[in-house]
Amino acid sequence: MTIVRKLLAIIAPLLGVALTLASVFLLLYMTVQSELMEDPLLRNLAIFGTLIAGVLLLVGGVYISTRIIVLLLSGKTPAEKSVNTSDLQ
């Protein structure tokens, strides 16, 4: 393992933590803004949107962090898609 890969293997989890923390602060801001709404219908829609955004942001952040670490530590490049020549004709 080269020194660059070792350095990236140290930095990648820190970036994953920063991404997750930024997602939490964004969700906190979205929750506060939705709770300040006076119209009940819009408030409920905003809360539902916050839940959907929370799932996407947090699960996406964990997926991206895990994917980067696996690629760094595996030592292999991602498998390339093979092109079937019979499909091209």
Q: How confident is the chain (89 residues) per 10-residue block, as mean pLDDT?
A: 80 88 93 93 94 91 86 69 56
Distance of CA 41 to the CA centre of its chain: 29
Cα dihedral sign for 43, 49, 53, 59?
A: positive
**Residue-level pLDDT at 85:** 58
Cβ–Cβ under 8 Å, residues 69 and 9:
yes
The single residue listed with the structure tokens 């219908």 is 41
Choose among 4, 5, 16, 3: nearest CA to 75: 5
C-alpha gyration radius of the chain: 20
What is the pTM assigned to this prediction?
A: 0.69
